Chains A and B, each alone.
Chain A
Amino acid sequence: MRAKVLITAALLVTLAATSPAFAHHSIVAEFDPNQPITFKGAVKKVEWTNPHIYTSVEVTGADGKTLVYRVEGGPPNALFRQGWRKDTLKVGDIVSVSGIRAKSATSMNVGQATITMADGRKIFGTGGNRAASAEYKE
């Protein structure tokens, strides 16, 4: 339910300022910097794949309906070297997510994302300087 989504310009500015520098496909082609999104939900799945990992997060709306967002993260090798592991997030963990929506209205992908765990740790840094550039990053 997108009613739980909070849209803030400040978030976009923050993302642009702090966005990391890894990605492997077009940022602008897939994601819309003008659609920032934040939500809280439960981890359903972690896809530990190159060149980005994806964390599926289930969100329950006010009407009781659920949505599953697919949150893009950084490259797995770089995340591994930071100490993150495939099982750092467990299915069912409650996380907060901030990022930007995909351009496609049918896509549930979220890019330029930061996932915050219940204990406050920010995890799985995203994979691209998305808001700032149309570049392809390695």
Chain B
Amino acid sequence: MKVRLTAIASAVAVAAALGVTSLAPALAAQRGRGAAPAAPAGPTPRMANGKPDLSGLWADPYTPNMAIRAVDPETKQPLKFARQGEMLADAIDPKRTFDLPYTAWGLKKWKEYDPVGKGDYAGNCLPFGMSRNINAPHGLQIIQNPDALAFLFEQNTWFHWVPTNSTFKWPADLPEAWNGLSVGHWDGDTLVIETKGFNGYTRLDTNGHPHSHEMVMTNTFLRTDSNTMQHTVRVHDPKTYTQDWMNVRTWRIKPYPDVIMEYSCEENNLQNLFDGAIKVWKAPEDDDR
């Protein structure tokens, strides 16, 4: 019953997110497509080596604004910091506030973020970055073997590969990347993924919260049963933020016949770029080095 209610709640959430004022289509679609309610939660699936198997198609909560539920990584209580909530009237968008514990450099980046006037890399269909990929609304597939794990992001059909074998070493001379380079390890049943080596072009979320190329992002994944994943993301970026902060989220498995689908934002945005409706993004001035 709980699972059934969760499925309905998900349908309600999706319908609300899409602005469908009647829920009938969404619910009928579930029935019409033969989408059975999610199977009752069973125990955490495990690999042959005993580690949790995180494989599956997951509904990870769409998170366009990570500041809203930022918590202290140690206490998991709402984040507290100086100047919290202060209006930033001189920002490009005067509705922005001092909503995360910015350094002077970070605050400058937050104030001047101007996706309309200067173009945004996301509207240009460039890689969103590890954080914004996970924050996206379309879900993601995880595939896993004993030595590695891969995220298949439905968002723009991107992928991110994470070695989990401790003997694996990334070549030291790899260039910085949109998604950074990740390494995973197990802490008991929790997979801990540390990502760094970012090119600094990306934003943490749709709202444009900044980070520097020095950021170290730590994601943890604990599959608590067959249907549920507890996920945390910790942002450590002393250049941008005066203290670490974290989001805590719950993922739900997406039962068949929901499947990962192809997604190409260029289908429309290419023409929008040509027409000028979307500004052509240019790499920012190199003040992040």
Contacts and interface: CB of A to CB of B under 8 A. Distances in A.
Contact of B19 (A20, A49, A50): A20
Contacts of A33: none
A137 B17 contact: no
B interface, size bucket: 35 or more
Nearest to A83: B29
A21 B17 contact: yes
B22 A138 contact: no
Given A30-B277, A78-B18, A82-B18, A50 B28 contact: no
A138 B22 CA distance: 23
A50 B268 contact: yes
B208 interface: yes
A90 interface: no
A83 B122 contact: no
A83 B18 CA distance: 13
Nearest to B266: A50
Interface string A20-40: 111011101110000000000
A55 to B, nearest CB: 13
A135 B208 contact: yes
Q: Is the interface of B mostly helix, strand, loop or mixed?
A: loop
Interface residues on A, range: 35 or more
B277 to A, nearest CB: 4
A81 B19 contact: no
B206 A29 contact: no
B18 to A, nearest CB: 4
A77 interface: yes
Interface stretch (B217-225, B230-238, B256-264): B256-264
Given A26-B277, A83-B28, 14 more contacts: A20-B18, A20-B20, A26-B120, A30-B278, A50-B264, A50-B266, A50-B268, A51-B265, A78-B14, A78-B137, A82-B25, A83-B26, A84-B25, A126-B19
Instruction: Sort A-B residue pairs by CB-CB distance and give the 5 closest, nearest first.
Output: A83-B29, A20-B19, A125-B18, A49-B267, A125-B19
18 contacts: A20-B17, A22-B17, A24-B123, A25-B268, A25-B272, A26-B116, A26-B279, A28-B116, A29-B116, A50-B267, A74-B19, A78-B138, A83-B28, A114-B19, A121-B22, A121-B25, A134-B115, A138-B64
